[in-house]
């Protein structure tokens, strides 16, 4: 073999070796990057899991608080009980747990609009609640929302909740309306699971929903309609005004006269001068209110290092003072 040929072979071999080394370097770099990414993912999962268990610990703690609050006072729920202390934060190893308990009967349960003979005995009472809900929407003072829009929103919500596929009223919406959308879907024909579900319902707008959150809530799988007069916030007199059909000034004065421990009985509230001077308040209207609550929501946020976990837990206080979890929602609402 000539020297020239030998040099060519040596050059090709050298280039091949360089290509192999370069390929190995690329593979090693990719493997290292993937390994680092996998290690980071594992670390994130570990941190998130720890934050999750911190949130579950907050839920267990909230159960103990509710049990303690109702051990000696099952007949009355008020804002001086230990559960109503507002937002509280607790330091934990490498993080913090923040939680707050809310009374889910200090607001109007949207599922109360679902027809059910057990909770709403007569069609007359149901229609009365629908009319009151329309007034509640009107009281929000959302620009562009008149009586007409309020009626249509109420009709659409009733159709979303009822069990049939027949349009109940002019503003109602059923299968044909939702399936004709650009991204079609079908109405639930069941209870609402969350107030954010209103975004799916015909006629409802984001401004209305955001305002409605201040006065309305959702108790999943229940059309219970019992508003606790002891836990209604002082800035929510509209709930009394609308469902009792009284002037807003009288509703404000009634809430202002409420002591910290609340009213012992419903009659004690309705005997207030601001309320008793309205003889047209019917027994059906009075039945919409109570002094005891059974449903509570814990909103908790747990942090661990740089990981955060938000959890909303809806709990029910049973007759034997046990606490059952109705639902859990992960993430901020």
Q: For the segment 15-47, what is each residue's pLDDT rounded down to a tens digit?
A: 777 788 777 777 777 877 776 777 666 666 677
β-partners of residue 307 are: 304
CA torsion angle for 97, 98, 101, 102 (degrees, to 10)? Answer: -140
Say which CATH architecture domain 49-104+295-330 belongs to: 2-Layer Sandwich (3.30)
Kindly report the backbone phi and psi dihedral angles of residue 5, in degrees, each rounded to the nearest multiple of 5, phi listed first: -65, -40
Residue 44 has a pLDDT of: 63
Helices 248-256, 237-244: axis angle to 10 degrees equals 130
Q: How far apart are CA 48 and CA 38, in angstroms?
A: 15
Which residue stretches of 206-247 are H helix? 206-212, 237-244
Q: Region 117-146: what's the mean pLDDT?
A: 81
* pLDDT tens per residue, range 44-92: 667 788 888 989 999 999 999 999 988 876 789 999 999 998 999 999 8
The fold for domain 109-217 equals: Ribonucleotide Reductase Protein R1; domain 1 (1.10.40)
Domain with CATH 1.10.40.60 in the chain: 109-217
pLDDT-derived band at 171, boundaries 50, 70, 90: confident
Numbered ranges of CATH 3.30.1300.30 in the chain = 49-104+295-330
pTM of the model: 0.83
pLDDT at 164: 84
CA gap 183, 194 in Å, rounded: 21
Quote the CA–CA distance of 74 and 67 in Å, as a whole number.
10
């Amino acid at each position: 073999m000539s020297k020239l040929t030998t040099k060519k072979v040596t050059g090709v071999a050298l280039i091949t070796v360089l290509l192999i080394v370069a390929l190995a370097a690329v593979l090693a770099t990719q493997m290292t990057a993937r390994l680092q990414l996998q290690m980071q993912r594992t670390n994130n999962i570990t941190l998130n899991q720890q934050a999750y268990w911190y949130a579950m610990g907050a839920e267990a703690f909230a159960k103990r608080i509710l049990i303690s609050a109702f051990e000696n006072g099952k007949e009355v729920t008020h804002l001086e009980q230990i559960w109503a202390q507002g937002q509280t934060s607790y330091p934990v190893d490498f993080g913090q747990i923040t939680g707050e308990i809310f009374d889910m009967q200090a607001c109007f349960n949207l599922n109360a609009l679902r027809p059910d003979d057990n909770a709403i005995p007569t069609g007359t009472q149901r229609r009365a609640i629908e009319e009151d809900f329309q007034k509640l929407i009107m009281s929000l003072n959302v620009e562009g929302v008149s009586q007409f829009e309020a009626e249509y929103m109420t009709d659409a919500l009733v159709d979303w909740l009822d069990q049939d596929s027949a349009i109940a009223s002019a503003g109602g919406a059923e299968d044909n309306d939702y399936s004709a959308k650009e991204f079609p879907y079908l109405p639930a024909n069941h209870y609402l699971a969350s107030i954010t579900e209103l975004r799916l319902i015909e006629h409802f707008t984001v401004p209305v929903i955001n305002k409605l959150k201040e006065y309305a809530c959702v108790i999943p799988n229940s059309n219970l309609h019992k508003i606790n007069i002891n836990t209604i916030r002082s800035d929510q007199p509209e709930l009394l005004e609308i469902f009792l059909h009284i002037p807003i000034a009288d509703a404000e004065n009634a809430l202002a006269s409420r002591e910290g421990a609340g009213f012992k009985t419903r009659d004690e509230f309705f005997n207030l001068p601001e309320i008793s001077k309205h003889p047209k308040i019917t027994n059906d209207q009075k039945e919409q209110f109570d002094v005891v609550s059974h449903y509570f929501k814990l909103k908790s946020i747990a942090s661990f290092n740089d990981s955060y976990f938000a959890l909303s837990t809806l709990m029910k206080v049973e007759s034997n003072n046990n606490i059952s979890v109705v639902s859990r929602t992960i993430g901020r609402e």
